[in-house]
Amino acid sequence: MRIALAATCIADAMFPSAPIATVKILERLGHTVVFPKEQTCCGQMHINTGFLDKAVPVIENHVNTFAPVLDNEWDAIVIPSGSCAGAIRHQQAMTCTRAGKLELAKTATAVAAKTYELSELLIDVLGVTDVGAYFPHRVTFHPTCHSMRLLRVGDRPYQLLKAVEGIDLVELPSADQCCGFGGTFAVKNADTSSAMLADKVSNIESTGARVVSAGDYSCLMHIGGGLNRKKSDVTTMHLAEILASTKEDPYQPSQPWDTSHVIEVATK
Amino acid sequence: MSTFLGIPGLRKTQPAHDPNILPGTAPIPDEPLRWGQDFPHAAREALKNEQMRRNLGHATATIRAKRAQVVGEAPDWEDLRDTGSQLKINTLAALPALLEQFETNFTARGGTVHWARDAQEANEIVTALIKATGETEVVKVKSMATQEIGLNEYLAEHDIAAYETDLAELIVQLGEDMPSHILVPAIHRNRAEIKDIFLRRMEHTPEGMTDAPRELAMAAREHLRKKFLAAKVAISGANFAAADTGTLTVVESEGNGRMCLTLPETLITVMGIEKIIPSFTDLEVFMQLLPRSSTGERMNPYTSLWTGVTPGDGPQNVHIVLVDAGRTKALADDVGRAALKCIRCSACLNVCPVYERVGGHAYGSVYPGPIGAILTPQLTGSTGHSDPNNSLPFASSLCGACFDACPVKIDIPSLLVHLRARVVDEDKAAHRPTGWGAAMSAASYVMADSKRFALAEKGTGALRALAGKKGYVAKLPFPANGWTQSRDLPAPPKETFRQWWDRTHPQDSDPATQNNGDNNE
Ligand code: SF4
């Protein structure tokens, strides 16, 4: 299959390891990945802060960039982020409609129908749950609100993780509780967000896992920021990064925290 | 002083350091739907109260577990939600006709209907009705509508004492406090605090009373029994009002409401106009949805229904005050009106991670939590840039737990976004520049074009410099300092994804974004 990658703005700039891992998994499975260069962002940040007018040009750029999927230029679009996939599927068209851009809304809906979050693409479109990964470490998984409630990815990420060779997957207490990120919520309501984060971090630490994973780097940036502040041993890794890791090519994180212990975990 | 609802300054704000005020008490405000600071500041204060946080965390976790169990038992739960939602949508679409139908039927059965455009009118009507009986004391069964209009305080100003009879409401009233939850108004209190309030404020508490729940309940019972037996006038709210029969419904757990509804001679019900349902038989749906969602019970212990007057039985003088107070304004907003579907079950509060940590008082309204964040600003309207209610739609991480829990499927996250947009658009229309506006405009410009975006990515070198050797930033300058209050920010990577792609997939690379490798380290 020819699959177009939407890297997401935050991963492109801050956490390239997630889209890189996504490329690795898909290429390993024999697919062709394409990176449409005009892409930037899905508009979620503007939508969720109420700047709907300002979101429109951003959405327009996204929709135009990925519209070739409608002419079968690619078979599908993959995006390694539950919240961006949620914005694409549930908010872009609404925002365009509100701005009176009905044509754009229609195209956005059509493009959204061909856009899949990573675990959806692997299981629903490509029909694989065992992607041939090897990751012999204790991992706990945070399902993230938008993957869980906006996209309804259900247990797909767990199915993928359970199929990873050597993994010790442990349940996260109160997994369904929000980590407190919420985009600008973390800055606008910093105190409340911090209180939510503190509980999430201590739940993660209670599992004894070395790695906390999620399908979204925005939540992981938040959680990782809290763990790093506590000088915790637990590190954050995107679902794609775990799935990309193999015996021959153990995952080398390119994430920008002090990663010495992560590299040690990943290569041990 | 005149306030947003046209109420002259009725309620006095208590002095801040009154030793009689327990920690965690919210002084009686001037406006029941707009008090205190904006949400971020009120939340910061509330977060300092660890006792309240423990009380709340414990209580909401218990209700959540109970709710999950009884909802799990109902195999048709999702169908019930759909039906409840559709019934409410139909109601709102035909509200004027349904209200008139209700009036006709309620009047035909011997009741009297009064219409109140705002809180002031509602308070005046109730006061006049009580004065006409010559009474100076009334009993009340918990009612959000009377909380919303500030009825108790208005009555007090007119020398009428109103006694709350719901246990939690009684605790709040005796504590000269404000409610912090729709269903469990005293959820922020634990037993020890309740005992303290009773000892200080309740007449004739039994000697040696401990904080055992039974002893507290018995003391309240003694106190209330005297009120019930003496009261000639009662005030109630209503959970539902069936248009086709003119029937009112109160759903409760303690039976105190039933005492109010049957013992006195005069019964005055105060109800928001959105509580109408088309038909008596629709109760079948709501009576399954409401108790499960609110108290986690299959059925609530007491359901009282009354249709006008029954000669020789119960109150012979029966009134209803139908209150608008901002509801038709909300109804006029195609998106925002969905908040009027609410049946006040409080399920959204109990699952909200924000509410669980800051409690109800931080919302500055008798309607707290997710529903409060979408309902309060619509009922009050905005008074401008610095209106604390404008901060309510932002008091959410948009995690969506409320939407999943809501028995009538109110898409609270989408409404929050809608109301955020309203705040932003109002600022824009009034040419009020804001920091966020400037930042969002700049981000929109950058993100609408990949070349500008790629260029901006290169600008993150400053952040990397700030991070230095340790690889993360522990202190960001204003206004991003909120982030580094509790979390670090990683240094941006040396190579963006775009650059990695060009390096590893050269056959696919685009000259415009090539050679963006950051060489200034
Ligand atoms: S919004 Fe829904 S969940 Fe919240 S109180 Fe109203 S009916 Fe209940």
Specify the residue with its C-alpha closest to ligand 1, atom 8. B345
Nearest to B339 by CA among B282, B378, B365, B366: B378
CA of residue B407 to ligand 1 center, whole Å: 7
Question: ∠ CA(B126), CA(B128), CA(B133), 5° rounding?
Answer: 100
Can you say whether the dihedral through the CA atoms of B289, B290, B292, B293 is positive or negative? positive
Alpha carbon separation from A31 to A7, A22, A27, A165, B509 (Å, rounded):
17, 11, 5, 22, 18
A216 φ, ψ to 5°? -150, 120
State whether the beta carbon of B351 lies less than 6 angstroms from ligand 1.
no
pLDDT number for residue B521: 32
**In 3-state terms, what secondary structure has residue B64?**
helix
Mean pLDDT in each 10-residue stretch from start to end of chain A (268 residues)?
96 92 96 96 94 96 97 97 96 96 98 98 98 95 96 97 97 96 94 96 96 95 93 92 92 54 46
Whether the CB of A6 is below 8 Å from some CB of chain B: the reply is no
A58 contacts B398? CB cut-off 8 A:
no
Distance CA B215, CA B224 (A): 14
The tokens 């401008």 sit on which residue?
A: B384
A40 contacts B449? CB cut-off 8 A:
yes
Distance CA B230, CA B226 (A): 6
ipTM associated with this complex:
0.94
Closest ligand 1 atom number to CA of residue B345: 8
Specify the residue with its C-alpha closest to ligand 1, atom 2. B406
Structure-block tokens of residue B392: 């309510």
- Determine how β-strand B489-490 pairs with β-strand B472-473: antiparallel
The whole-angstrom distance between B5's CA and the closest CA on chain A is 27
Nearest CB neighbour to B508, from listed A35, A146, A255: A35
Q: What is the pLDDT of residues B167-203, one digit of tens each?
A: 999 999 999 999 999 998 999 898 999 999 999 889 8
Q: Which residues of chain B have pLDDT under 50?
A: 1-17, 510-521
Specify the residue with its C-alpha closest to ligand 1, atom 3. B406
Q: What is the pLDDT of residues B228-269, one digit of tens each?
A: 999 999 999 999 999 999 999 999 999 999 999 999 999 999
State the pTM of this model.
0.92
pLDDT number for residue B204: 85
A192 contacts B354? CB cut-off 8 A:
yes
The whole-angstrom distance between B440's CA and the closest CA on chain A is 7
Nearest to B447 by CA among B510, B439, B437: B439
Distance CA B12, CA A264 (A): 64
Do residues A8 and A240 touch, judged by C-beta distance below 8 A? no
Do residues B130 and B160 touch, judged by C-beta distance below 8 A? yes
